[in-house]
């Protein structure tokens, strides 16, 4: 700490390069010199997560499948081989198991206040990291190996995160007042909350999230232990007892198999947000990615920080004493309250099916825009005309299937000629309406998750089939216009043109079946075991069909006759299933 920054940078820069985040370690000196506990804690959280990521990169030079847990990574023989067992033991004292200081976990799980961690621990980790860099450089020189860093995780589908309004300066000011009055905040943790708002104001969205996530866990741990009457679960990070984390807080049952009362207290929308943001595999899993050093902080999205902070403000307000806040301030927060109260899961498999069906519908709409070649030769025109539309081969099955689905009872489906209706805008309006329906996703049974998983795969394969047809049609049309198609390719293209209407009708029907089954998904819990197995087998037969269709329609295969034959067979199977199971 006595070194001037320029001297520090000159001395340590090269030794910190192996972390792939040299700037983080260099700027830590300023935090140390400030003796500001919140800034030092922030840097420690960043350093520990970055170290884990970097050590994992080193591990992967000589082994496969990096351990998921930091303690297992630090105890590995692979890293001991590179850095020596003695050095790894020292590192484990600071970062390793609950028997050690366990700095990474007690910080990231919100167990320490800003001034509980001595600055010397941060200094020590800086020196350790530089020393590791020195040892690694010698090892790389001797072995002539090269350290390769894994790419950072990048958040996708951010355009879908539009539920929360932007947080104005007025809202942020009200939030600061909430922090001082809410029972959700432990008094000694207030500086972390204030720094989270400061970081958001300054556009440091990654820092904002790092401050918020441990405090969210601490506040929810307090609420969890209060409503469930188990104050002992609020304990600090003891070495001889598992401490309460998000996993236990979000669970349906307690360790004694009794019901967790927190979901009933917070409400389903709040729980769905937490599951979306933290747990669902397809979701952002913000805490996991941040704490394991998988995110480039300078590129952390504002949308996610905005949602986390907005959601935190709602929880702060939920834990206020009555009449302890001005009415006009509450009115300022109303848009955020509304966003949370109306929140529906975006990343549960049920929500993913709804999204995928809509995506597939949009793709199928593009089939109507496909260019059709002008057939100049009379023989070619006659050949196309002679190919009778194969839709007729399963037209009656489609009519019967929809009738058996009992769609007539649904206000969305009132058209008489269903096979024609499947190709109209009315169908798309009906599907969109069904996809917007709110289906409960919290604590779904194993049976529901199993069936929904199959429906998700079906909708994904349908989208792939649609993409295949669009791609092949466009390529073949251009080749036709340029007269570069060989004779067999011309014939194959003609078969494609003859098959499009039939395949389009079939895919529309499959998507209709998917979304109708999804909306009735919780009723399968009432089925007998044998009945459920038959139902699951039926869904898997549709999945098998869509997978085979994806193969047949791929640009490499182009088996259009086979695709029509498979479609005819699956229509018969679907009709037979519904005839035998009219209740479903």
- Please tell me the pTM assigned to this model: 0.90
3-state secondary structure of 253: strand
Nearest to 547 by CA among 465, 451, 455: 465
C-alpha closest to that of 239 among 106, 121, 100: 100
Q: Distance (Å, rounded) from C-alpha 463 to C-alpha 356?
A: 8
Eight-class DSSP state of 520: T
- Decide if 344 contacts 351 (C-beta within 8 A): yes
Q: What is the pLDDT of residue 409?
A: 43
Task: Give the residue carrying structure tokens 């037969």.
Answer: 541
Residue 348, pLDDT score? 96
Backbone angles phi and psi of 257, in degrees to 5: 75, 5
Burial of 147 (0-12, 13-18, 19+ CB in 10 A): middle
Neighbours of 233 (CB within 10 A): 19
- Spatial neighbors of 5 by CB under 8 A, at least 6 apart, are 29, 30
Q: Determine the pLDDT at residue 399.
A: 78
* Distance, CA of 173 to CA of 169 (rounded, Å): 6
Cα→Cα distances 5→12, 15, 354, 403, Å: 10, 15, 54, 77
In tens, the pLDDT along 322-373 reads 766 777 778 899 999 999 999 999 999 999 999 999 999 999 999 999 988 8
The torsion of the CA quartet 572, 573, 575, 581, rounded to 10 degrees, works out to 160
DSSP state of 153: P
String of DSSP letters for 326-390: -HHHHHHHHHHHHHHHT---SSSHHHHHHHHHHHHHHHHHGGGG-------SHHHHHHHHHS--G
Measured CA distances, 65 to 62, 84, 148 (Å) = 10, 21, 15
SS3 assignment, position 259: strand
Q: How far apart are CA 310 and CA 316, in angstroms?
A: 10
Residue-wise pLDDT for 277-331, tens only, equals 999 999 999 999 999 999 999 999 999 999 999 999 999 999 998 766 777 778 8
**Dihedral pair phi/psi, residue 528, rounded to 5°:** -70, 160
Query: Would you say 316 and 196 are in contact if contact means Cβ atoms under 8 Å apart?
Result: no
Tell me how far apart the terminal alpha carbons of the chain are, to the nearest angstrom: 72
Spatial CA neighbour of 476 closest among 456, 500, 459? 500
The residue behind tokens 């959700």 is 184
Longest dimension (CA), the chain: 91
Distance CA 415, CA 427 (A): 9
Q: Which is nearest to 341 in space by CA: 360, 317, 322, 368?
A: 317
pLDDT tens series, the chain, 584 aa? 888 899 999 999 999 999 999 999 999 999 999 999 999 999 999 999 999 999 999 999 999 999 988 999 999 999 999 999 999 999 999 997 788 899 999 999 999 999 999 999 999 999 999 999 999 999 999 999 999 999 999 998 777 766 789 999 999 999 999 999 999 999 999 999 999 999 999 999 999 999 999 999 999 999 999 999 988 888 766 666 678 889 999 999 998 899 999 999 999 999 999 999 999 999 999 999 999 999 999 999 999 999 999 999 999 999 998 766 777 778 899 999 999 999 999 999 999 999 999 999 999 999 999 988 875 554 554 455 455 454 446 777 877 887 777 653 454 555 455 556 677 788 888 899 999 999 999 999 999 999 999 999 999 999 999 999 999 999 999 999 898 989 888 888 988 998 898 899 899 999 999 999 999 999 999 999 999 999 999 999 999 999 999 999 998 888 999 999 999 999 999 999 988 876 44
Per the CB < 8 A criterion, the answer to whether 80 and 101 are in contact is no
**How far from chain centre, in Å, is Cα 103?**
28
Contact 22, 113 (CB under 8 A): no
Nearest partner of 27 among 44, 153, 305, 105, judged by Cα? 44
H helix or E strand, kind and range, residue 86: helix 85-95
């Amino acid at each position: 700490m006595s070194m001037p920054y320029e001297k520090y940078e000159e001395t340590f820069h090269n030794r910190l390069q192996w972390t792939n985040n040299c700037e983080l370690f260099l700027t830590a000196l300023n935090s140390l010199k400030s003796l500001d506990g919140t800034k030092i804690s922030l840097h420690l959280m960043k350093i520990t997560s970055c170290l884990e990521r970097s050590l994992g990169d080193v591990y992967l030079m000589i082994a496969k499948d990096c351990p998921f847990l930091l303690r297992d990574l630090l105890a590995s023989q692979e890293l001991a081989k590179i850095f020596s067992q003695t050095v790894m033991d020292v590192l484990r004292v600071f970062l390793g198991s609950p028997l050690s200081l366990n700095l990474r976990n007690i910080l990231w799980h919100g167990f320490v206040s800003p001034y509980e961690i001595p600055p010397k621990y941060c200094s020590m980790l800086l020196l350790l990291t530089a020393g590791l860099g020195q040892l690694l450089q010698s090892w790389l020189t001797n072995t002539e190996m090269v350290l390769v860093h894994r790419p950072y995780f990048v958040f996708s589908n951010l355009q879908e995160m539009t539920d929360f309004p932007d947080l104005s300066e007025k809202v942020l000011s009200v939030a600061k007042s909430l922090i001082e009055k809410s029972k959700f905040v432990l008094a000694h943790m207030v500086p972390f909350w204030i720094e989270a708002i400061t970081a958001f104001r300054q556009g440091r969205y990654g820092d904002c999230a790092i401050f918020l996530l441990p405090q969210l866990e601490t506040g929810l741990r307090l609420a969890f232990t209060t409503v469930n009457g188990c104050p002992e679960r609020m304990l600090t990070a003891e070495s001889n007892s598992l401490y309460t984390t998000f996993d236990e807080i979000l669970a349906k049952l307690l360790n004694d198999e009794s019901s967790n009362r927190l979901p009933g207290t917070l409400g389903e929308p709040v729980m769905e947000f937490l599951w979306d943001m933290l747990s669902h595999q397809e979701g952002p899993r913000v805490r996991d990615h941040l704490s394991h050093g998988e995110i480039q902080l300078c590129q952390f999205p504002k949308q996610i920080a905005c949602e986390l902070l907005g959601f935190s403000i709602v929880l702060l307000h939920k834990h206020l004493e009555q009449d302890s806040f001005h009415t006009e301030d509450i009115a300022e927060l109303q848009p955020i309250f509304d966003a949370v109260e109306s929140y529906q899961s975006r990343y549960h498999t049920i929500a993913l099916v709804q999204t995928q069906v809509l995506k597939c519908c949009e793709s199928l709409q593009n089939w109507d825009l496909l260019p059709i070649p002008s057939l100049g030769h009379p023989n070619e025109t006659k050949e196309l005309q002679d190919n009778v539309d194969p839709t007729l081969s399963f037209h009656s099955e489609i009519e019967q299937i929809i009738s058996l689905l009992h769609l007539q009872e649904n206000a969305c489906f009132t058209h008489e000629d269903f096979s024609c209706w499947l190709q109209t805008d009315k169908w798309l309006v009906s599907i969109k309406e069904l996809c917007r329906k709110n289906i409960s996703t919290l604590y779904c049974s194993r049976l529901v998750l199993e069936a929904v998983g199959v429906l998700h795969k079906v909708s994904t394969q349908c989208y792939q089939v649609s993409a295949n047809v669009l791609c092949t049609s466009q390529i073949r049309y251009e080749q036709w216009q340029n007269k570069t198609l060989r004779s067999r390719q011309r014939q194959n293209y003609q078969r494609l043109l003859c098959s499009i209407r039939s395949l389009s009708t079939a895919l529309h029907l499959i998507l209709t079946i998917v979304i109708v089954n999804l909306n009735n998904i919780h009723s399968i819990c009432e089925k007998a075991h044998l009945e459920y197995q038959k139902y699951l087998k039926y869904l898997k037969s549709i999945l098998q069909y869509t997978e085979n269709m994806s193969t047949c329609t791929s640009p490499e295969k182009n088996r259009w006759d086979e695709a029509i034959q498979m479609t005819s067979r699956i229509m018969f199977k679907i009709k037979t299933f519904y005839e035998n199971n009219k209740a479903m």
